[in-house]
Amino acid sequence: MKAYLTLNYQKHKNSKHMSHKIQTLSGYIHEYQKSVLQPEEFWGRVAESFHWKKPWSKVLKWDFDGPDVNWFVDGKMNITENILDRHLFIMGDRPAIIWEPNEPGDEVVTLTYRELYHQVCQFANALKAQGVQKGDRVIIYMPMVPEAAVAMLACARIGAVHSVVFAGFSSTAVADRINDCEAKMVLTSDGNYRGAKSIGVKSVVDEALEKSTSVEKVIVFKRTGTEVTMKEGRDIWWDDAIKGQPLDCPAEEMDAEDMLFILYTSGSTGKPKGVVHTCGGYMVYTYYSFVNVFQYNVGDVYWCTADVGWITGHSYIVYGPLLAGATTLMFEGVPTYPHVGRFWEVIDKHKVNQFYTAPTAIRALQAYGLEPLEPYKMDTLKVIGSVGEPINEEAWHWYHDHVGKGNCPLVDTWWQTETGGIMIAPIAGVTPNKPAHASLPLPGVQPIIVDTEGKELHGNNVEGNLCIKFPWPGMIRTTYGDHDRCKQTYFSTYKGLYFTGDGAKRDHDGYLRILGRVDDVINVSGHRMGTAEVENAINEHPKVIESAVVGYPHDVKGQGIYAYVICDMEGRSEESLKNEIRETVSKIIGPIAKPDKVQIVPGLPKTRSGKIMRRILRKVASGEADQLGDTSTLLNPEVVEAIVKGASK
């Protein structure tokens, strides 16, 4: 360990920490220009501030047709050395993670960089002792406790590939992910506290493991004290696994392009895909975007309210902040427990400086009015952020005026699981804020708007599909086990471009506004759901003949899920069938995918080639049945009338 600390110190003693932070508008323009004209030089300079075990031979080699994208070619490193070892020397006693538990009165846990280092090393040794090796896949299905971050970093320490599964997913969803990546191990907990509820977690894993064969060991962290069954020879308690394990662990030498993690996300087809991120580029990109967008200063307390099960939790609770030596707050609970002012209370309690949340949470809290905010000062806040879905102007203003008190820049950050980090967003206090606009690309990001033929739409006041025309270090490399799927989904719609699946508008001032998905993906409370995925789950119900799912505008969730279902009604009432269908989806995917509305229909509108006309279903679901357009070309125009008549209110 000593060796790199010395080396690191030598390298850093004269450099100003976080010298890559843009501080002025002209600085942004200059850096942006440089990143486009000399991308290799630009990213090479950012990457130089990290500790590399062996330098790269070339910054970038790429081809979007493959796609085959390589950043920091031949470079060797370990991301955890840059998170932990590097920070011990000058920041060992600074808090790395502050953990706010579900119950406000329970003890807050603070881990310094030194404590985090030891916990990660110790758990990394435990993983090795249980047979995990470089390249093995490890599923993490855990609540929001610091050990979830420890687990991720311990995998990275020894070169194992983590795949975190959101702890609200069902056993079937967990089993699908275990099987897709042939995971060797599962890290989980006995239970999970969420607001007033305590939920079984280990029991879900037990059920999932009945459907999979690759998992050899399960390590169980004790959180709730819920009774669990421990399978002899397979299951081991976290505390037993770490007992006697040394507090230091050598960091595995990783190639910059070795896999760091897999994260499953929904797309337009039925099966979630495993988005693969690699070590070097992801490290450089999450760090750079974090310090710039949030303008983090050493000593600040930063809080992102996401769950580590989503990409936002990966990049902006764990990796980005910790790479920057930041103090990152992890919150176990929910915004409305034990009262609807909990977020504001936590901001005051921990003197939070940067606060990053989702529009759906803002809209939900806005509904309670201003009273819950009154007891709190929130005067430590400097920057507030939004992620996950388009933020409507009303929510933007409420957030800006009442949470940010009108004097915090609001960074509306557009990005995706596939992009690894923030792509289009204001740089807090540096580039201008415009309500409901993600605004301008970060340096290194080259977005373009194209028409349906893929022709670039130049100039301002244009609207079309959002693509990226040049690689950035944090981008997706492949979809696990199926490279062709990655090519088909992202690089084939428009030749030579990465297609985001989102629509966007460049307004008359040149600022980008994201308009939402243009494919069959619904964004429910910032969570991506594929319509086909929900349909597959509905179709599992024995009485269901066929179904079609669409999104519709929802006041709090952004979009709600509307399911049209053809059923065999024999012996069932409509109400009980609808409830059973909703429960089926909850069981197969998880409660977040439960349809908000279910309508039993006699048929689905189809084209002559047999395709469901979703356009019509979307209009009916949105209450715009008077704007259906031409339905005469349908195979079965008569069902439209029945659907409109029976539309769920």
Q: How far is the CB of 419 from ligand 6R9 (least distance, A)?
A: 8
Residue 265 engages ligand 6R9 in binding (rule: CB under 6 A):
yes
Q: Cα dihedral angle (35, 41, 42, 45), rounded to 10 degrees?
A: 180
Residue 501 engages ligand 6R9 in binding (rule: CB under 6 A):
yes
Segment lying near ligand 6R9 (by CB under 6 A), choices 115-123, 468-476, 516-524, 575-583: 516-524
Q: How far is the CB of 176 from ligand 6R9 (least distance, A)?
A: 18
Distance, CA of 552 to CA of 483 (rounded, Å): 32
**Chosen residue from 282, 294, 296, 414 binding ligand 6R9 by CB under 6 A:** 414
Nearer to ligand 6R9 by Cβ, of 331 and 490: the residue is 490
Q: How far is the CB of 265 from ligand 6R9 (least distance, A)?
A: 5
Segment lying near ligand 6R9 (by CB under 6 A), choices 179-187, 216-224, 249-257, 306-314: 306-314
Residue 262 engages ligand 6R9 in binding (rule: CB under 6 A):
no
- Asked whether the beta carbons of 195 and 102 are under 8 A apart, the reply is yes
Longest alpha-carbon distance in the chain: 78
Name the DSSP letter for residue 249: -
**Chosen residue from 417, 478, 489, 493 binding ligand 6R9 by CB under 6 A:** 417
Nearer to ligand 6R9 by Cβ, of 527 and 541: the residue is 527
Q: How many CB atoms lie within 10 A of CB 16?
A: 8
Nearer to ligand 6R9 by Cβ, of 188 and 439: the residue is 439
Size of the site for ligand 6R9 (CB under 6 A): 25
Residue 313 engages ligand 6R9 in binding (rule: CB under 6 A):
no
Nearer to ligand 6R9 by Cβ, of 272 and 280: the residue is 272
**Which of 335, 257, 261, 278 is CA-nearest to residue 303?**
335
Nearer to ligand 6R9 by Cβ, of 235 and 389: the residue is 389
- Asked whether the beta carbons of 78 and 309 are under 8 A apart, the reply is no
Segment lying near ligand 6R9 (by CB under 6 A), choices 42-50, 68-76, 114-122, 495-503: 495-503
Within residues 191-230, the interface with ligand 6R9 by CB under 6 A covers none
Residue 502 engages ligand 6R9 in binding (rule: CB under 6 A):
yes
Q: How far is the CB of 548 from ligand 6R9 (least distance, A)?
A: 21
Within residues 137-196, the interface with ligand 6R9 by CB under 6 A covers none
Residue 403 engages ligand 6R9 in binding (rule: CB under 6 A):
no
Q: How far is the CB of 554 from ligand 6R9 (least distance, A)?
A: 15
**Chosen residue from 118, 177, 437, 517 binding ligand 6R9 by CB under 6 A:** 517
Q: DSSP string of 502-557?
A: EEEEE-TTS-EEEEEESSSEEEETTEEEEHHHHHHHHTTSTTEEEEEEEEEEETTT
Structure-token match 């599923």, residue found: 139
Residue 308 engages ligand 6R9 in binding (rule: CB under 6 A):
no
Distance, CA of 380 to CA of 325 (rounded, Å): 20
Within residues 332-391, the interface with ligand 6R9 by CB under 6 A covers 386-390
Report which secondary-structure segment, H or E, holds 387.
Answer: strand 383-387
Q: Where are the beta strands (DSSP E) in 145-206?
A: 161-164, 185-189, 191-194, 197-200
Nearer to ligand 6R9 by Cβ, of 307 and 502: the residue is 502
> What sign does the CA torsion over 541, 542, 548, 553 have?
negative
**Chosen residue from 140, 438, 567, 593 binding ligand 6R9 by CB under 6 A:** 438
Nearer to ligand 6R9 by Cβ, of 424 and 577: the residue is 424
Reading the block at residue 293, the tokens are 């967008």
Structure-token match 């065999």, residue found: 568
Site string for ligand 6R9, 580-599 (x = CB under 6 A): --------------------
Question: Which residues contact residue 223 at a Cβ distance below 8 angstroms, ignoring those fewer than 6 apart?
Answer: 143, 145, 189, 190, 191, 192, 193, 201
Nearer to ligand 6R9 by Cβ, of 113 and 261: the residue is 261
**Chosen residue from 170, 357, 413, 559 binding ligand 6R9 by CB under 6 A:** 413
Residue 136 engages ligand 6R9 in binding (rule: CB under 6 A):
no
Residue 416 engages ligand 6R9 in binding (rule: CB under 6 A):
yes
Residue 415 engages ligand 6R9 in binding (rule: CB under 6 A):
yes
Residue 437 engages ligand 6R9 in binding (rule: CB under 6 A):
no
**Which of 590, 591, 595, 593 is CA-nearest to residue 175?**
590
**Which of 639, 610, 616 is CA-nearest to residue 629?**
616
**Chosen residue from 173, 215, 311, 411 binding ligand 6R9 by CB under 6 A:** 311
- Asked whether the beta carbons of 159 and 258 are under 8 A apart, the reply is yes
Residue 113 engages ligand 6R9 in binding (rule: CB under 6 A):
no
Name the DSSP letter for residue 107: P
Within residues 524-583, the interface with ligand 6R9 by CB under 6 A covers 526, 528
Calculate the alpha carbon distances from 52 to 70, 81, 120, 201 in Å.
16, 9, 20, 38
**Which of 274, 83, 242, 31 is CA-nearest to residue 162?**
274
Segment lying near ligand 6R9 (by CB under 6 A), choices 102-110, 329-337, 403-411, 513-521: 513-521
**Which of 346, 444, 424 is CA-nearest to residue 33?**
444
Residue 273 engages ligand 6R9 in binding (rule: CB under 6 A):
no
Q: How far is the CB of 396 from ligand 6R9 (least distance, A)?
A: 11
Residue 312 engages ligand 6R9 in binding (rule: CB under 6 A):
yes
Nearer to ligand 6R9 by Cβ, of 144 and 158: the residue is 144
- Asked whether the beta carbons of 450 and 465 are under 8 A apart, the reply is yes
CA angle 269, 271, 276 (to 5 degrees): 105
Distance, CA of 259 to CA of 380 (rounded, Å): 38
**Which of 210, 242, 213, 28 is CA-nearest to residue 128?**
242
Nearer to ligand 6R9 by Cβ, of 219 and 522: the residue is 522
- Asked whether the beta carbons of 550 and 616 are under 8 A apart, the reply is no
Residue 412 engages ligand 6R9 in binding (rule: CB under 6 A):
yes
Q: How far is the CB of 316 from ligand 6R9 (least distance, A)?
A: 9
Helices (H), 38-112: 39-47, 79-80, 86-91
Q: How far is the CB of 18 from ligand 6R9 (least distance, A)?
A: 23
Residues forming the site for ligand 6R9 (CB under 6 A): 265, 310-312, 386-390, 412-417, 438, 500-502, 514, 516-517, 523, 526, 528
